[in-house]
């Protein structure tokens, strides 16, 4: 489904939708910020629909558009009757517990399968040598007593030296480390919770955006959240760790990507509404409360920077198209 045009008159929007239907283009009108917006159901029809819209906007009162209203009503009735008949004969198998069927979301299922296999291969947090082949860095962090002070010259030197050591693997060509931490999980609860969120959020988006779009989204948001977590490991921790942390601890999990998916859907819900890509307000509040709970440190060591970075970049991706459209209108 694609947004085609924003009109100023609701009646003209309905007339346009009726005419499009007579041209075998299914569309609908949705209000947005007090204005009627025309959405095209089938993306393959966008070019023809846009051509019709460009002609319609010059003469919206033309007789051929007005005359299309009655035939459109008849076509709509026939379509609704056909859908009712189809529903009686066909049991919908496209949804699994209210979510997209696994066969319809291959990239989502691939993310889940790879996460499970990788996590079992590293035996959660027990097989350290295997785990360190996939973490962002293969050199662990360490802490020193706070008595030295965070701005002590020795501390600063240790931080610079440790960061260079921790980045050495990536600099020598092990670039998979930029993304592979998203597949590492450290307990069954960690794995199950993240995979449930992935299936719910990624499945919803993939079913509407397609597998290639989702794959690119995961790569971008996964790398961004991992990089931010490495360089700012405790920036969003409300409970700072004891001692002075030198370097970035080992981290992993799909939650940075999951929060990016969440951020994208939040943007679509409250800023750039789009049919089928929205979350209930109570779910948004619940996820944000969970984000803050993770920051408190009461439930263990959490990669909070990855969560916040993922949320931010996902939200930005969600509003980019809307912002770009507004910028073009200002020109």
**What's 10's domain CATH number?**
3.30.70.2350
From the list 194, 172, 173, 193, the residue with the least C-alpha distance to 182 is 194
Q: Which two tokens stand for residue 79?
A: 């379509």
Q: What pLDDT score does 90 carry? A: 41
Maximum Cα interatomic distance, the chain, rounded to a whole number of Å? 84
Question: Does 110 share its domain with 68?
Answer: no
User: Is residue 318 within a helix (H) or strand (E), and if so which, with residue range?
Assistant: helix 304-330
Q: What per-residue string of b and e applies to 204-243 under the rule 16 or more CB within 10 Å gives b? A: bbbbbeeeeebeebbebbbbbbbbbbbebbbebbeeeeee
Q: What pLDDT score does 257 carry? A: 97
Residue 230 domain flag: yes
Q: For position 292, which CATH number holds?
A: 1.20.1540.10
Answer yes or no: is pLDDT of 153 > 70: yes
DSSP class of 9: -
In tens, the pLDDT along 75-86 reads 878 877 766 664
The answer to whether the beta carbons of residues 107 and 206 sit under 8 Å apart is yes
Question: Does 105 share its domain with 50?
Answer: no
Task: Report how far residue 274's alpha carbon sits from residue 40's, in angstroms, rounded to the nearest whole number.
Answer: 11
In tens, the pLDDT along 48-69 reads 999 999 999 888 888 888 888 8
Answer yes or no: is pLDDT of 88 > 60: no
Counted domains in the chain = 2
In which domain, by residue range, is 15 found? 2-89
Question: Does 63 share its domain with 206?
Answer: no
The answer to whether the beta carbons of residues 306 and 256 sit under 8 Å apart is yes
Task: Report how far residue 330's alpha carbon sits from residue 313's, in angstroms, rounded to the nearest whole number.
Answer: 25
Q: Which domain-ending residue is among 89, 115, 132? A: 89
Task: Report how far residue 287's alpha carbon sits from residue 18's, in angstroms, rounded to the nearest whole number.
Answer: 41
In tens, the pLDDT along 295-305 reads 998 888 899 99
pLDDT band at 94 (very low <50, low <70, confident <90, very high): very low
Phi, psi (rounded to 5 degrees) for 132: -70, -10
From the list 60, 63, 53, 61, the residue with the least C-alpha distance to 27 is 53
Task: Report how far residue 3's alpha carbon sits from residue 39's, in angstroms, rounded to the nearest whole number.
Answer: 4
Mapped onto helix, strand or coil, the DSSP state of residue 32 is: strand
Residue 94 domain flag: no
Question: Does 138 share its domain with 281?
Answer: yes
Question: Does 156 share its domain with 223?
Answer: yes
pLDDT band at 293 (very low <50, low <70, confident <90, very high): very high
In tens, the pLDDT along 250-276 reads 999 999 999 999 999 999 988 877 777
Question: Does 69 share its domain with 207?
Answer: no
Q: What pLDDT score does 288 carry? A: 93
Residue 272 domain flag: yes
Task: Report how far residue 72's alpha carbon sits from residue 77's, in angstroms, rounded to the nearest whole number.
Answer: 9
Q: Which residue has the higher pLDDT, 42 or 218?
A: 218
Question: Does 33 share its domain with 143?
Answer: no
Question: Does 66 share its domain with 161?
Answer: no
Task: Report how far residue 27's alpha carbon sits from residue 4's, in angstroms, rounded to the nearest whole number.
Answer: 9
The answer to whether the beta carbons of residues 207 and 105 sit under 8 Å apart is yes
Q: What is the pTM of this model?
A: 0.70
């Amino acid at each position: 489904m694609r947004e085609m045009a924003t009109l100023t008159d609701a009646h003209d929007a309905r007339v346009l939708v009726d005419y499009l239907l007579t041209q075998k283009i299914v569309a609908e009108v949705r209000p947005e910020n007090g204005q009627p917006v025309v959405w095209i159901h089938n993306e393959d029809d966008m070019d023809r629909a846009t051509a019709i819209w460009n002609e319609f906007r010059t003469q919206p009162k033309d007789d051929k558009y007005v005359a299309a209203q009655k035939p459109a009503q008849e076509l709509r009735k026939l379509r609704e009757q056909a859908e009712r008949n189809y529903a009686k004969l066909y049991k919908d198998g496209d949804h699994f517990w209210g979510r997209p069927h696994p066969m319809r979301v291959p990239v989502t299922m691939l993310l889940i399968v790879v996460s499970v296999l990788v996590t079992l291969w590293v035996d959660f947090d027990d097989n350290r040598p295997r785990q360190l082949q996939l973490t962002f860095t293969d050199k662990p962090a360490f802490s020193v007593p706070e008595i030295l002070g965070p701005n002590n010259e020795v501390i600063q030197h240790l931080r610079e030296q440790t960061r260079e050591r921790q980045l050495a693997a990536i600099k020598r060509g092990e670039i998979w480390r930029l993304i592979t931490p998203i597949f590492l999980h450290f307990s069954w609860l960690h794995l199950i919770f993240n995979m449930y969120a992935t299936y719910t959020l990624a499945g919803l988006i993939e079913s509407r955006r397609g597998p290639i779009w989702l794959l690119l989204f995961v790569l971008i948001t996964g790398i961004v959240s991992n990089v931010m977590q490495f360089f700012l490991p405790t920036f969003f921790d409300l409970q700072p760790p004891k001692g002075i942390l030198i370097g970035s601890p080992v981290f992993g999990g799909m939650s940075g990507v999951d929060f990016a998916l969440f951020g994208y859907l939040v943007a679509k819900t409250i800023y750039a509404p789009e049919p089928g890509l929205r979350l209930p307000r109570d779910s948004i509040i619940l996820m944000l409360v969970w984000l803050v709970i993770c920051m408190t440190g009461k439930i263990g060591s959490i990669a909070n920077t990855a969560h916040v970075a993922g949320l931010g970049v996902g939200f930005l991706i969600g509003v980019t198209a809307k912002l770009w459209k507004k910028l073009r209108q200002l020109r």
